[in-house]
Amino acid sequence: MKTSLETRLLWLFRSAVFLEFVGHGVFGIIGKKAWVPYFAVAGIPESWAWQLMPLIGTVDISVGLITLLSPRRAVLLYATLWGFWTALLRPLVGEPVWETVERAGNYGVPLAFLLASQARGWFSPLEIRPIDAALKIRMVWLLRATTSALLIGHGALAAVVQKPLLQNQLTAVGLSFVPLPALGGFEIALGLALLFDTAGALLLFVVTWKIVTETFYPISGAPYWEFIERGGSYIAPFALFFLVSQSRNSLSRSLVREPESDVTESFQKT
């Protein structure tokens, strides 16, 4: 039995938000030193920051669980805004703006889910709207922009910023001989290619590329939650693959039907 496009997107989006927010939330529960400067943006001292982290982590995990089990539009709106705000905090504390761009999956995927959803109210259980031609175009471009941004952002952190963490990851996986700028340049080129082409093979390569490169986090000694919270980075191109594939299959079927109809009309006229 074939699974509808709407059903596939529903479960892909639910899974992505679940992974993002549970992974991020766990860091709040256990505490993460790197978060302390982000609280300072709002004037919150370090002593309070450590006390607030578990609360933020609990909310994040709750958002992930609600979205997986019974998604609501209000929760998705919160997820989109919170995902963008936490990404925006990076340059606000002096980190490169590419840190915000690289986290496009954190806010782009819940935004795509929100765009594709329908419900009686903001707090009612939602479902995916029928994916008509107009909605499909908007979804494709949103997911293309999201996937392109996260690739270009990550690539720029390697090629332009030459982030030490990324060099340490290459060393940990035995790829220290690979020049970091070259690797980053490849990712930037990959992100730009997605803006001009969405071939199925390219999208599946991007999915595989992101999964493999993000496993460098746990391989280099970071908690597995670093890999889990980047769920949007893997699922955005995967959802885009299904959208594009379905569109091309529909076009192929229509091209097959047209000649058949022409032959039928000619036979009827004779």
When divided into structural domains, the chain yields a total of 1
Q: Is residue 156 part of a domain?
A: yes
Please report whether residue 267 resides in a domain.
no
Q: What is the pLDDT along the chain (270 residues), one digit of tens a residue?
A: 457 899 999 999 999 999 999 999 999 999 999 999 999 999 999 999 999 999 999 999 999 999 999 999 999 999 999 999 999 999 999 999 999 999 999 999 999 999 999 999 999 999 999 999 999 999 999 999 999 999 999 999 999 999 999 999 999 999 999 999 999 999 999 999 999 888 889 999 999 999 999 999 999 999 999 999 999 999 999 999 999 987 665 544 544 555 555 544 544 554
Q: Is 270 inside any structural domain?
A: no
Whether 265 is in a domain gets the answer: no
Would you say residue 145 lies in a domain? yes
Q: Which domain holds residue 154?
A: 5-260
Asked whether residue 171 is assigned to any structural domain, the reply reads yes
Q: pTM of the prediction?
A: 0.88
Q: Is residue 140 part of a domain?
A: yes
* Residue 200 placed within a domain: yes
DSSP-derived secondary structure for the chain: -PPPHHHHHHHHHHHHHHHHHHHHHHHHHH--GGGHHHHHTTT--HHHHHHHHHHHHHHHHHHHHHHHHS-BHHHHHHHHHHHHHHHHHHHHTT--THHHHHTHHHHHHHHHHHHHEE-SSTTSB-EEPP--HHHHHHHHHHHHHHHHHHHHHHHHHHHTS--HHHHHHHHHTT-TTS-HHHHHHHHHHHHHHHHH---HHHHHHHHHHHHHHHTHHHHTT--THHHHTTHHHHHHHHHHHHHHHHHHHHHHHHHHHHHHHHHHHHHHH-
